Structure 1
Amino acid sequence: MTKIGVIHPDTLRQRVEGALRDAITSGVYRPGERLVERELCEDLGVSRASVREALRMLEAEKLVNIVPHRGPVVATISLEDARQLYELRTLLEGFAASGFVNNASSAKIADCEIAAAELRIAAERQDQNGVLKAKAKLYDTILGNCGNAHVWETLRGLHSRVNLLRATSLMDADRLPKSLAEIDALIQAFKDRDAEKAGEIARLHVNNASKVAFRYLKEQVSDPTAS
């Protein structure tokens, strides 16, 4: 007789953590916004203990700050911090793209092509959550097959923080078509098995994205009420 799988204690916490992470990175909760535990418990239908444990995990990812006498708030990113994050992303994503060409199977390249198609569909529908999910799928495939698990682990952490900026800049009308074109070029480099070109395009993609993110961040600094 087939037995029901064991439910691990971390399962609920991981679901709560994922829901809060998605809400933060998609812009439901904005940088600097206070996260009220009671309201989170009501919204998610879970205990305060589950919410607190999830918040601790997100604090470790630097998505949440626990402020004395105020409680948890969504983290903010300074211009200097953003500059350093994108600088590191540029280096690592160029390396990962080149490594992907040298290590990925044809099936994994096809998976990237599928994710890129899903990204374009979500963008055409102006579906920000869909764009974020498609990009996450694309990056997970690239990073998971770049031949270096440490690069994967580091970049996944960076992407969580960068998503704080993407929540406002991702759907920029001028940037989005160019971003899609860059990703199409990256997929073509994968298919051509051109590691040097893939690395070059990946670095260009991050560099161009950083310019838009910096612009939005500067606007927020000059006008904290700007959306």
Structure 2
Amino acid sequence: MSTPRLTRHAAPLRQQITRLLREDILSGAHQPGDALRESALCEAYGVSRTVVREALRQLETERLVTVVAHHGPVVTVLTPQDIEKIYEVRRALEGLVGELFAVHAPERARTALRELLAGMDVSYLRGTVRTREEANERFYGLLLEGAGNPVLAEEVARIHARVQIFRRYAFTDARRARISFEHFGRITRAAAVDRDPAEARAACEDHVRGAAALAAEEHRRRTA
């Protein structure tokens, strides 16, 4: 039966199904290790196998889906060791982003980051999951733009794709949102006000350390 979440006159069907399946994975409707059978997905979303296959291929590139030999696509399973290593790389990359922003960002980028932080008192600290996600993406977008290194931006995007499920958890937890907001403030002061590369790097790295601890906590909860 066709899901009422589809809007056939809006974005191409493939994009809609990719978005819906991604959302179902991130929300926990499909758990890590769950098989993603094409026939069941076709019935659930009311679309053809071609559309489902295209969506699964896209989510495989985002590391949300893994194709297992002789079993087909499943929701990606990360071990505690995987999480530790991924966040180790994320910490190094985002530390470099903060450092480069402090060194290279023009005044317009620094102003934009300060203005965004002021608005995040509402959109992030007191916002919804959706507004927190949007504010978070905008914050990182401004940091990466100001850092001025497209290669670094690509690598950060890849790492963020691998930890989407854990980043989503941070947006649903009010306590974690408050902690993250404080981290954003420290990053902004160091990178966009004081222009202190060492402190900007340290602030970004500390933020990722907190995110890593939250990811480990969420992984334990999901696998208990």
With the length of structure 1 as denominator, give the TM-score of the two structures.
Answer: 0.79
**Kept after mapping to 2: 8 A contact 1:119/1:130:** no
Which of residues 214, 218, 221 is equivalent to 1:219? 221
Which residue number corresponds to residue 196 of structure 1? 198
Give the whole-Å Cα distance in 2 for the aligned partners of 1:44 and 1:144. Answer: 37
In 2 relative to 1, CA 122–32 (structure 1 residues): closer, same or farther, beyond 3 Å? farther
**Kept after mapping to 2: 8 A contact 1:32/1:75:** yes
User: Cα offset for 1:15?
Assistant: 5.1
> 3-state DSSP class of the match of 2:147?
coil
**Kept after mapping to 2: 8 A contact 1:17/1:54:** yes
Which residue number corresponds to residue 166 of structure 2? 165
Which residue number corresponds to residue 7 of structure 2? none
The one-letter code sitting in structure 1 at the alignment partner of 2:216 is: F
The one-letter code sitting in structure 2 at the alignment partner of 1:110 is: T
**Kept after mapping to 2: 8 A contact 1:90/1:202:** yes
Which residue number corresponds to residue 139 of structure 2? 138
> 3-state DSSP class of the match of 1:145?
helix
**Kept after mapping to 2: 8 A contact 1:26/1:128:** no
In 2 relative to 1, CA 56–87 (structure 1 residues): closer, same or farther, beyond 3 Å? same
Which residue number corresponds to residue 84 of structure 2? 83
Map residues 147-162 of structure 1 onto 2, 5 A cutoff.
Answer: 147-162=148-163
Please, which moves more after superposition, 38-47 or 189-198?
Answer: 38-47
After TM superposition, which residue ranges in structure 1, 4 or more long, deviate above 6 angstroms?
none
Q: Deviations over 1:185-209 (max 9, x none)?
A: 1112222222221111001111122
**Aligned alpha-carbon RMSD (Å):** 2.8
Give the whole-Å Cα distance in 1 for the aligned partners of 2:36 and 2:115. Answer: 36
Give the whole-Å Cα distance in 2 for the aligned partners of 1:160 and 1:122. Answer: 22
Map residues 7-86 of structure 1 onto 2, 5 A cutoff.
Answer: 13-14=14-15, 16-27=17-28, 29-38=30-39, 40-41=41-42, 46-68=47-69, 70-86=71-87
**Kept after mapping to 2: 8 A contact 1:96/1:143:** yes
Aligned residue-pair number: 213
Unaligned runs of 5+ in 2: 1-11
**Kept after mapping to 1: 8 A contact 2:91/2:204:** yes
> 3-state DSSP class of the match of 1:65?
strand
Please, which moves more after superposition, 108-117 or 78-87?
Answer: 108-117
In 2 relative to 1, CA 13–188 (structure 1 residues): closer, same or farther, beyond 3 Å? same
Q: Deviations over 1:76-117 (max 9, x none)?
A: 211000000111111110101111122222222233334434
**Kept after mapping to 1: 8 A contact 2:166/2:215:** yes
**Kept after mapping to 2: 8 A contact 1:112/1:138:** yes
Which residue number corresponds to residue 93 of structure 1? 94
Give the whole-Å Cα distance in 2 for the aligned partners of 1:65 and 1:18. Answer: 17
User: Cα offset for 1:184?
Assistant: 1.0
Give the whole-Å Cα distance in 2 for the aligned partners of 1:105 and 1:93. Answer: 19
> 3-state DSSP class of the match of 1:217?
helix
The one-letter code sitting in structure 1 at the alignment partner of 2:67 is: I
With the length of structure 2 as denominator, give the TM-score of the two structures.
Answer: 0.79
Please, which moves more after superposition, 202-211 or 165-174?
Answer: 165-174
Which residue number corresponds to residue 7 of structure 1? none
User: Cα offset for 1:118?
Assistant: 4.9
Please, which moves more after superposition, 192-201 or 165-174?
Answer: 165-174
Please, which moves more after superposition, 201-210 or 13-22?
Answer: 13-22
**Percent identity of equivalent pairs:** 33
